[in-house]
Amino acid sequence: ITALYAKDKNGNNTNVVVSLKTAEDFKQHGYCINASLGRYAGRIGGGYFEIDGTKYPIYNENGVHLHGGKNGFHKRMWTFEEQTENSITFSIESEHMDEGYPGNLKAKVTFTLEGNKVINTYTAVADAKTILNLTNHNYYNLNGEGDILGHELFINSDNFLEVTETQIATGKLVPVDNTPFDFREATIIKEQPNFKGVDDCFAIKNNHAATLYSPKTGIEMKVVTNQPGVVIFTPEDLGADTNYANTQYGNYSSICFETQNFPNAPHHANFPSAIVEAGEEYKNESSFEFTVR
């Protein structure tokens, strides 16, 4: 997604996602800006995963496999499939053992405009039992410029995933009580005690994952999903070489809502299963509803 416009409280169009100048800028940027991630979004530890007693080695750096590997879906061009009056669909094919994952797989993403909602629907089918975790990596800023520190954030979660120093989920859920990650009441981000950025997965209580609001523009975005978790990511700095299109951002320029299964789920039986059977359809449907208040 290269741009997404919403009306602000004065009726002006505001581009609410970070935009870059060229397709190559999006492809080459190290932060997966506004891309579709796969085959497995997030981090898997140990350099492998296991299905029915078979170990599948996967690319890793210092024991971390991130966003599908060295050449994940975010680094590839997807194929245009079809377009309707209010939607567009793209697809990608991934051969058996691509980046270490079993099964020949075809994945699709449909972006739909429905009233004041943008709906991202990811589906996929493989011809062998495999693991799968697709998501979207949009970077949102409801001001269209500057930073998101003055935005108000609500996260519908009592627990976040404990991680190691290399951000690998340990399998333990940690209560948000008395932590900088307690956004169960809508809070201005910069006013959250001890806020130093977020890059964590939250176990959400129901399909309403989160809400983001900008007092400056009056734009509010509600995130709803069929997934069990959402990774919230507020990068402090997207890099001095980021080739922004037509606007300027500061530190903490934006925030991601990566609706998905839990990172490292293949290693933890207590996490929601990431297994998809041969011929079974995987589906991640998430909506981003925009209103003004």
Annotated active-site positions, please? 137, 258
Report yes or no: 139 and 18 within 8 Å, Cβ to Cβ: yes
The neighbour count for residue 93, using CB atoms within 10 Å, is 12
Element (H or E) spanning 23, and its range? helix 23-28
Phi-psi region of 252 (alpha: psi -120 to 50; beta: other; left: phi over 0): left
Taking the C-alpha atoms of residue 102 and residue 100, their distance in angstroms, rounded to an integer, is 7
**Collapsing DSSP states into helix, strand and coil, what is residue 201?**
strand
Let me know how long the chain is: 293
Beta strands 208-213; 152-155: pairing state: antiparallel
